[in-house]
């Protein structure tokens, strides 16, 4: 590729290397280092005048340093009279802060977008943005690639008889759209899990009867081993209606599923915890229970700060009985909700095994280790958009990392030659 | 000396809502003359003094027969610009139903993000602040470089359900007509302690009859379909049919923005939907109100907007309105 240079940032050199290999070129030489006072310094070792330049930098544990590094690199390239600068950001940092979380919250993802454009980027390439609306944050073109086809390919090749044997499950209502897209692609069923943080103690005890009846229903379901899908054959001519009418509710304590037989022994404790929160509900802002579409993200953020002994209700809408549950999300950050959902699928809903599938394996803290430890999780599948240390990879028995570098390489190649990259979006069809 | 008071300017898209807001705020209407030249150019003249005042312009994104959505957008931008050149202190656009809110991402190759363009246009025209309601995607807030207050119709919707149905009866179930709305429905279901279900339309397989999947149990229940907007109502009517086939007792639908194009109300009347409940973010003609009074119900959200304007003007917090319906 003439007049084209690829610069690889320090956040994820392995991915950058793989992309360059796929393109059949060497990464352009540049020195990225830090001064003693912590300031980042960039030196570009080759002329970029009038060239088409690509900078590959992903999110990483040293997120802010690497954002700064990318900004300085872009600005250095701009200063070096590059014709066009494309920032390739496989995992977009701060993507979760794409809307006002709480009242008066900052939209940090937009700020990052502004910074990247201000530094001099002319084009941005990313993958599975947390919200596709983020493309609108940029005043320059953004290409949002999809990790879905790669994940779908793995599922097709590795889950035996996936067509009859697997269900894609969303671990929160917000991710249902992503889940249905994959379900449609694989032509399999889907289900959804909802974790309820608000139901108050009186409702909980009121649910005792409901739980009992649910239990009875569950037993009858297990007895009859009712098929999960009831194909409506009578009126199949016009429309094929599938009914998956199981709703499974259980209790979560400290992020783990509590068996239904377990008495409500801590109802006293419940009371203590819930009355203040009830008051909070009246005191507006603090409880943050107004925004009808930020809770699933808040969930991730608040997981640690929440009262650990607070009991929640977890509900599965749909049916996974006797099937492999594929828990899909865009990013694995914190383990709590995945473990809770997996335990619920296995212990209460009769799932055969659970696969945790995501595009970005961020694994903050000991997330990966906790997921490893959970008996309910069979395998963890992520792509290599985010760096995972060698050591962690070696230690892990469940983790599967899929390579998406060919997608980025192809995108760079096509972009450089001015070809359409829609094919990369539509590659879903060719599977 | 300027009093720096609230001035509410009415766009032509929804005068009824403006009047209600003015009434709730207890202020006089500021006279604006909007004229369309014969060549369809829009011309705005503000008749009252607005120097150094706090101006709120109310315009909603709706399509009428004589004036379409683009005319209203143009009118809004010209009004903003007009205010700006008339030395107002601050211009706030109150847009209950945001223009082009559904074009908020590049869902196909080479498709535009028009919502972003509208945001840029409004900012360029001189708008300082935006108040809107139930944005199709809350990320649209991030398209602006000026503050945006996204209000929720949810408290009003909750109030309506509580006033009209016995939520303790447990025979109610909330249903989302598509997977994308699951979050909205789950949030409402939590607050009402009701069960919920969702419908999903499979579109991926080409040349195959589309099928709708129902996830959840609706047998013998009264279903409430919840969505953020109703356009042709095709999906809602179809959903009601599916729910009926699955044993639902009766179905009503609740939406925030009723766009109601292509004889949507006629469709609702002839469908399994017993009732369509929507807020007055969009106007509905008197004629339609009369003709279809059996099958529609309107929730008034002018109180929320008026209170937001009052609080914004006085520099108070708006958070209260995210959870409560003002008196």
HSE, CB side, 13 Å, CA atoms: give it for residue B45.
4
Residue B190 — φ and ψ, nearest 5°? -60, -45
A126: β partners: A89, A144
Looking at residue A97, its pLDDT comes to: 87
Question: Do residues A205 and A100 share a domain?
Answer: no
**What Å distances lie between residue A426 and A42, A329, B108, B112, B166, CA to CA?**
37, 20, 10, 18, 48
Q: Which residue has the tokens 């892990």?
A: A396
Q: What are the chain B neighbours of A195 within 8 Å (beta carbons)?
A: none
Question: Do residues A184 and A140 share a domain?
Answer: no
Looking at residue B37, its pLDDT comes to: 83
Q: What are the chain A neighbours of B320 within 8 Å (beta carbons)?
A: 284-285
Residue pair A115/A57 in contact by the 8 Å Cβ criterion:
no
d(CA A346, CA A356): 13
Looking at residue A27, its pLDDT comes to: 93
DSSP state of A421: -
Looking at residue B64, its pLDDT comes to: 79
Q: Could you say which of B138, B319, B324 has the minimum Cβ distance to residue A99?
A: B138
Looking at residue A12, its pLDDT comes to: 93
**Beta carbons of A284 and B200 less than 8 Å apart:** no
pLDDT at B138 over 90: no
Helix (H) or strand (E) holding B215: strand B211-215
- The whole-number average pLDDT for the span B15-32 is 92
CA A162 to chain centre: 22
Domain that holds residue A318: 149-402
d(CA A5, CA A400): 31
Which of helix, strand or coil describes residue A404? coil
Question: Do residues A64 and A195 share a domain?
Answer: no
Question: Do residues A246 and A325 share a domain?
Answer: yes
Of A82-86, A200-204, B80-84, the one with minimum mean pLDDT is: A200-204
Q: Could you say which of B154, B209, B219 has the minimum Cβ distance to residue A240?
A: B209
pLDDT at A203 over 60: no
Looking at residue A235, its pLDDT comes to: 38
Residues 6+ apart with CB under 8 A from B272: B237, B240, B241, B243, B244, B251
Question: Do residues A162 and A124 share a domain?
Answer: no
DSSP state of B100: T
**Beta carbons of A292 and B188 less than 8 Å apart:** yes
Interface test with A, best of B122, B183, B194, B198 (most A CBs within 10 A): B183
Question: Do residues A380 and A325 share a domain?
Answer: yes
Residues 6+ apart with CB under 8 A from A222: A321, A350
**Beta carbons of B319 and A285 less than 8 Å apart:** yes
Q: Which two tokens stand for residue A99?
A: 């809307």
Residue of A nearest to B101 (CA): A133
Question: Do residues A192 and A316 share a domain?
Answer: yes
**Beta carbons of B139 and A136 less than 8 Å apart:** yes
Q: Which residue has the tokens 């990483």?
A: A60
Q: How close, in Å, is residue A295 to chain B by CA atoms?
A: 8
Helix (H) or strand (E) holding A190: strand A189-196
Residue pair A355/A327 in contact by the 8 Å Cβ criterion:
yes
Residue A328 — φ and ψ, nearest 5°? -110, 135
CA A179 to chain centre: 11
A31: β partners: A43
**Beta carbons of A136 and B142 less than 8 Å apart:** yes
Q: Could you say which of B138, B184, B204 has the minimum Cβ distance to residue A100?
A: B138
Q: Could you say which of A135, A198, A239 has the minimum Cβ distance to residue B106?
A: A135
Residue of A nearest to B218 (CA): A245
Q: What are the chain B neighbours of A296 within 8 Å (beta carbons)?
A: 183
Domains of chain A: total = 2
Pairing of strands A353-361, A324-332: parallel
Which of helix, strand or coil describes residue A170? strand
Question: Do residues A309 and A411 share a domain?
Answer: no
**Beta carbons of A289 and B191 less than 8 Å apart:** yes
Tell me the three-class secondary structure of B121-135, residue by residue.
HHHHHCCCEEEEECC
Q: Nearest to residue A290, comparing CAs of B23, B221, B319?
A: B319
Looking at residue A293, its pLDDT comes to: 39
Residue pair A340/A315 in contact by the 8 Å Cβ criterion:
no
Q: Could you say which of A98, A142, A184 has the minimum Cβ distance to residue B142?
A: A98
Q: Which two tokens stand for residue A123?
A: 């084009």
Residue pair B96/B281 in contact by the 8 Å Cβ criterion:
yes
Of A45-54, A256-265, B94-103, B197-206, the one with minimum mean pLDDT is: A256-265
The CATH number of whichever domain residue A311 belongs to comes to 3.40.50.2020
Q: Could you say which of B106, B107, B195 has the minimum Cβ distance to residue A247?
A: B195
Question: Do residues A183 and A249 share a domain?
Answer: yes
Q: Which two tokens stand for residue A108?
A: 């940090």
pLDDT at A83 over 80: yes
Which of helix, strand or coil describes residue A290? coil
- The whole-number average pLDDT for the span A113-142 is 92
pLDDT at B320 over 60: yes
Of B81-90, B201-210, B265-274, the one with minimum mean pLDDT is: B201-210
Q: What is the pLDDT of residues B208-231, one digit of tens each?
A: 556 778 888 888 899 999 999 888
Domain B6-153+302-323 coded CATH 3.40.50.2020: yes
Q: Nearest to residue A314, comparing CAs of A221, A217, A222, A248?
A: A248
Looking at residue A262, its pLDDT comes to: 57
Measured on CA atoms in the order A62, A68, A69, A74, is the torsion positive or negative? Answer: positive
Question: What CATH number labels B154-299?
Answer: 3.40.50.2020
Q: What is the pLDDT of residues A240-280, one digit of tens each?
A: 333 344 566 777 776 677 765 555 544 333 333 333 333 33
Q: Which two tokens stand for residue A208?
A: 């005792």
DSSP state of A206: H
**Beta carbons of B139 and A98 less than 8 Å apart:** yes
pLDDT at A287 over 50: no
CA angle B196, B199, B200 (to 5 degrees): 140
Q: What is the pLDDT of residues A410-420, one digit of tens each?
A: 999 999 999 98
Pairing of strands B148-151, B172-176: unpaired
Question: Do residues A352 and A225 share a domain?
Answer: yes
d(CA A169, CA A341): 9
**Beta carbons of A133 and B104 less than 8 Å apart:** yes
- The whole-number average pLDDT for the span B253-275 is 90
Q: How close, in Å, is residue B25 to chain A by CA atoms?
A: 23
**Beta carbons of A180 and B188 less than 8 Å apart:** no
**Whole-number CA gyration radius for chain A:** 24
Continuous H helices in chain B: 15-25, 69-85, 114-125, 154-164, 182-192, 234-245, 264-269, 286-291, 302-314, 320-323
HSE, CB side, 13 Å, CA atoms: give it for residue B313.
19
**What Å distances lie between residue A67 and A6, A39, A62, B105, B114, CA to CA?**
17, 13, 9, 24, 28
Mean of per-residue pLDDT scores for chain B: 89
**Could you tell me the end-to-end alpha-carbon distance of chain A, in angstroms, rounded to an integer?**
29
Mean of per-residue pLDDT scores for chain A: 78
Segments of chain B assigned to CATH 3.40.50.2020: 6-153+302-323, 154-299
Q: How close, in Å, is residue A290 to chain B by CA atoms?
A: 5
Question: Do residues A200 and A346 share a domain?
Answer: yes
Q: How close, in Å, is residue B123 to chain A by CA atoms?
A: 14
ipTM: 0.71
Question: Do residues A140 and A288 share a domain?
Answer: no
Residues 6+ apart with CB under 8 A from A64: none
């Amino acid at each position: 590729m003439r007049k084209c240079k690829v610069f690889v940032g320090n956040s994820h050199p392995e991915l950058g290397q793989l992309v360059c290999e796929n393109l059949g070129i060497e990464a352009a030489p540049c020195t990225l280092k830090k001064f003693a006072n912590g300031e980042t310094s960039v030196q570009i070792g080759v002329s970029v005048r009038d060239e088409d330049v690509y900078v590959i930098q992903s999110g990483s544990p040293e997120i802010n340093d690497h954002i700064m590094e990318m900004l300085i690199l872009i600005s250095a390239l701009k200063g070096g009279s590059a014709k066009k600068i494309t920032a390739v950001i496989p995992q977009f940092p701060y993507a979760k802060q794409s809307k006002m979380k709480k009242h008066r919250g900052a939209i940090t993802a937009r700020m990052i977008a502004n910074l990247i454009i201000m530094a001099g980027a002319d084009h941005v390439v990313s993958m599975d943005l947390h919200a596709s609306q983020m493309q609108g944050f940029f005043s320059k073109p953004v290409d949002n690639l999809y990790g879905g086809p790669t994940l779908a390919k793995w599922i097709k090749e590795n889950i035996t008889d996936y067509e009859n044997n697997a269900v894609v499950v969303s671990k929160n209502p917000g991710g249902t759209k992503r889940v249905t897209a994959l379900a449609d692609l694989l032509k399999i069923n889907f289900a959804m899990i909802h974790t309820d943080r608000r139901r108050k103690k009186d409702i909980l005890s009121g649910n005792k009867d409901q739980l009992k009846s649910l239990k009875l229903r569950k037993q009858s379901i297990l007895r009859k081993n009712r098929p999960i899908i009831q194909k409506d054959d009578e009126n199949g001519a016009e429309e094929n209606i599938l009914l998956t009418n199981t709703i499974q509710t259980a209790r979560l304590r400290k992020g783990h599923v509590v068996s239904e037989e377990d008495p409500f022994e801590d109802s006293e404790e419940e009371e203590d915890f819930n009355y203040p929160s009830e008051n909070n509900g009246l005191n507006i802002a603090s409880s943050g229970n107004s925004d009808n579409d930020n809770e699933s993200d808040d969930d991730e953020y608040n997981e640690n700060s929440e009262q650990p002994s607070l009991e929640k209700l977890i509900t599965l809408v749909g049916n996974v009985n006797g099937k492999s549950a594929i828990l899909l999300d865009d990013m694995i950050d914190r383990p709590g909700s995945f473990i809770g959902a997996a335990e619920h699928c296995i212990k209460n809903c009769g799932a055969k095994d659970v696969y945790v599938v995501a595009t970005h394996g961020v694994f903050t803290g000991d997330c990966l280790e906790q997921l490893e430890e959970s008996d309910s999780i069979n395998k963890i599948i992520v792509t290599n958009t985010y760096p995972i240390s060698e050591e962690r990879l070696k230690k892990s028995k469940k983790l599967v990392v899929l390579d998406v570098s060919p997608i980025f390489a192809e995108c760079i190649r096509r972009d450089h030659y001015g070809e359409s990259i829609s094919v990369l979006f539509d590659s879903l069809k060719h599977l | 000396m300027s009093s720096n008071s609230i001035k509410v300017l009415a766009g032509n898209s929804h005068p009824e809502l403006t009047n209600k807001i003015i009434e709730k705020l207890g202020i006089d209407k500021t006279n604006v003359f909007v004229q369309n030249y014969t060549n369809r150019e829009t011309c705005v003249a503000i008749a009252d003094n607005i120097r150094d005042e706090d101006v709120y312009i109310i315009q909603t994104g709706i399509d009428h027969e004589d004036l379409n959505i683009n005319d209203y957008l143009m009118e809004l931008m010209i009004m903003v610009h007009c205010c700006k050149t008339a030395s107002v202190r601050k211009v706030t656009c109150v847009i209950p139903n945001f223009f082009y809110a559904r074009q908020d991402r590049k869902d196909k190759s080479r498709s535009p993000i028009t919502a972003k363009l509208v945001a840029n246009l409004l900012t360029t025209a001189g708008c300082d602040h935006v108040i809107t309601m139930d944005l199709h995607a809350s990320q649209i807030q991030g398209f602006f470089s000026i503050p945006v207050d996204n209000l929720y119709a949810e408290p009003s919707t909750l109030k309506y359900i509580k006033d009209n149905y016995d939520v303790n009866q447990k025979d109610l179930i909330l249903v989302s007509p598509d997977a994308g709305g699951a979050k909205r429905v789950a949030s409402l279901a939590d607050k009402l302690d009701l069960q919920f279900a969702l419908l999903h339309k499979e579109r991926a397989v080409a040349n195959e009859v589309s099928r709708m999947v129902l996830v959840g149990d609706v047998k013998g229940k009264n279903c409430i379909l919840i969505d953020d907007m109703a356009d042709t109502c095709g999906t809602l009517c179809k959903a009601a049919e599916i729910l009926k086939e699955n044993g639902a007792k009766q179905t009503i639908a609740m939406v925030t923005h009723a766009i109601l194009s292509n004889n949507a109300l006629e469709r609702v009347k002839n469908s399994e939907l017993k009732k369509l409940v929507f807020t007055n973010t969009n106007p509905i003609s008197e004629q339609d109100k009369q003709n279809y009074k059996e099958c529609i119900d309107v929730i008034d959200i002018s109180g929320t907007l008026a209170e937001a304007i009052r609080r914004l003007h006085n520099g108070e917090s708006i958070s209260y309105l995210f959870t409560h319906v003002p008196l």
